[in-house]
Amino acid sequence: MADPLSRVFSALADPTRRDIVARLAVADATVNELAAPYDVTVQAVSKHLKVLEDAGLVSRSREAQRRPVHLEAEVFDLMTTWIERYRRQAEERYRRLDDVLRAMPDADPPPQEGRPS
What secondary structure letter does DSSP report for 29?
B
Strand stretches in 1-117, DSSP E: 58-60, 69-71
113 binds, among its own copies, DNA, none (CB under 5 to 8 A by kind): none
Polymer length in residues for the chain: 117
- 49 vs 21: CA distance, rounded Å: 10
- Which of the stretches 45-53, 72-80, 85-93, 104-112 binds DNA when contact is defined by CB under 7 A? 45-53
Binding-site size, its own copies (CB under 8 A): 35
Candidates 19-27, 62-70, 88-96, 104-112: pick the segment binding DNA (CB under 7 A).
Answer: 62-70
Q: How far is the CB of 95 from DNA (least distance, A)?
A: 26
Task: Decide if residue 50 touches its own copies (CB under 8 A).
Answer: no
Q: How far apart are CA 35 and CA 41, in angstroms?
A: 7
Residue number, 12 or 35, with CB nearest to its own copies: 12
User: Helix, strand or coil for residue 38?
Assistant: coil
